Amino acid sequence: MVLSTGTISLKAPEGSKAIVVKNLYLSCDPYMRSRMTKSDKPSYVPSYNPGSAITGFGVAKVVDSDHSKFKEGDLVWGMTGWEEYSLITNPDTLFKIENTDVPLSYYTGLLGMPGMTAYVGFYEVCSPKKGENVFISAASGAVGQLVGQFAKLMGCYVVGSAGSKEKVNLLKSKFGFDAAFNYKEEQDLDAALKSYFPEGIDIYFENVGGKMLDAVLLNMKLHGRIAVCGMISQYNLEKPEGVHNLLNVIGKRIRMEGFLVFDYFHLYPKFLDLIIPNIKEGKITYVEDTAEGLHNAPGALIGLFTGRNVGKQVVVVAPV
């Protein structure tokens, strides 16, 4: 619902248990693409409704509340609208922001849904051990940059792939990856992976799918784990590409597990306990790519699918 200060009062209807928020930062996330397709197939997120503002994760300030848990001035993150003000009819899904001595925009990324994705994907799904060999695709993005840093904190050997020289440099110089390569410049992904992992890969954090997954399957170690977080290379295809090397899953006893962060939000307090001290001590860093203004939000979202973003793509709707 689009609310305009000029025409509609910014009041939560009495008895509605709703709140009205002013949106400050919006998060551009790859899963939003799937919501733009009308599909009769079952999906974990509903399609967008043409004519209504699209929804997504964001950071917002409560301007009016009819809900006992929220009061005017509270800062929250969670599902909101791509609009200046939103009426949130189910505010129980929102998280109240208690730690405000970090950049608020972090609650779209590092301290929000992508951060949680990296946390549960790595610690819960990958079953990592010190000294293991970890490979991450789309490694400089919102999720990938954090997975790499978690793996380094655990004492793993970490290699990432990304789509530009700038991103590759960032992985090595800022996020502490042991090595990184530009997958767009590699003619032979299998050979590239063999050169970085002569003994094979223990953990693959899968963000892209397609040819990369096929090459990784050839390079996994016995009892390796693949956390299937996303397959962004497939999201705009009418027909997903085939994967040819799946037989390796049997011979190498690979555990390949898809996961959705939405199933793990109960772990959010545990995640904050881990991450906040690490941010304050400078052990975890985070790179954001900021688009200014709601009018630049669609371009920023589309940019995820061409790799235009360097780091977490955030949209600033209103200065704090």
Interacting residue ranges for ligand NDP, rule: CB under 6 A = 29-31, 114, 117, 138, 140-144, 162-164, 167, 207-208, 229-233, 259-261, 304-305, 307, 309, 312
Q: Which is nearer to ligand NDP, 30 or 128 (CB)?
A: 30
Q: Which is nearer to ligand NDP, 97 or 208 (CB)?
A: 208
Tokens of 200: 């094979």
Q: How far is the CB of 33 from ligand NDP (least distance, A)?
A: 8
Q: Which is nearer to ligand NDP, 3 or 275 (CB)?
A: 275
Q: How far is the CB of 298 from ligand NDP (least distance, A)?
A: 16
Q: How far is the CB of 163 from ligand NDP (least distance, A)?
A: 3
Which residue minimizes CB distance to ligand NDP? 141
Q: How far is the CB of 222 from ligand NDP (least distance, A)?
A: 26
8 A C-beta contact, residue 84 and residue 23: yes
Q: Which is nearer to ligand NDP, 19 or 125 (CB)?
A: 125
Phi and psi at residue 250, to the nearest 5°: -75, -60
Q: Which is nearer to ligand NDP, 89 or 296 (CB)?
A: 296
Q: Let me know the angle formed at the C-alpha of 307 by 305 and 312, rounded to the nearest 5 degrees.
A: 95
Q: Which is nearer to ligand NDP, 29 or 214 (CB)?
A: 29
Residue with tokens 């789309």: 138
Report in angstroms the alpha-carbon separations of 117 from 8, 29, 66, 131, 145: 37, 12, 31, 22, 12
Residues in CB range of 170: below 8 A, 6 or more apart = 140, 145, 162, 287, 310, 311
Q: How far is the CB of 65 from ligand NDP (least distance, A)?
A: 29
Residue with tokens 């006893």: 253
Q: Which is nearer to ligand NDP, 7 or 306 (CB)?
A: 306
Q: Please name the amino acid found at residue 22.
A: K
Q: How far is the CB of 138 from ligand NDP (least distance, A)?
A: 4
Q: How far is the CB of 57 from ligand NDP (least distance, A)?
A: 10
User: How far apart (Å, rounded) are the C-alpha atoms in residues 175 and 147?
Assistant: 10
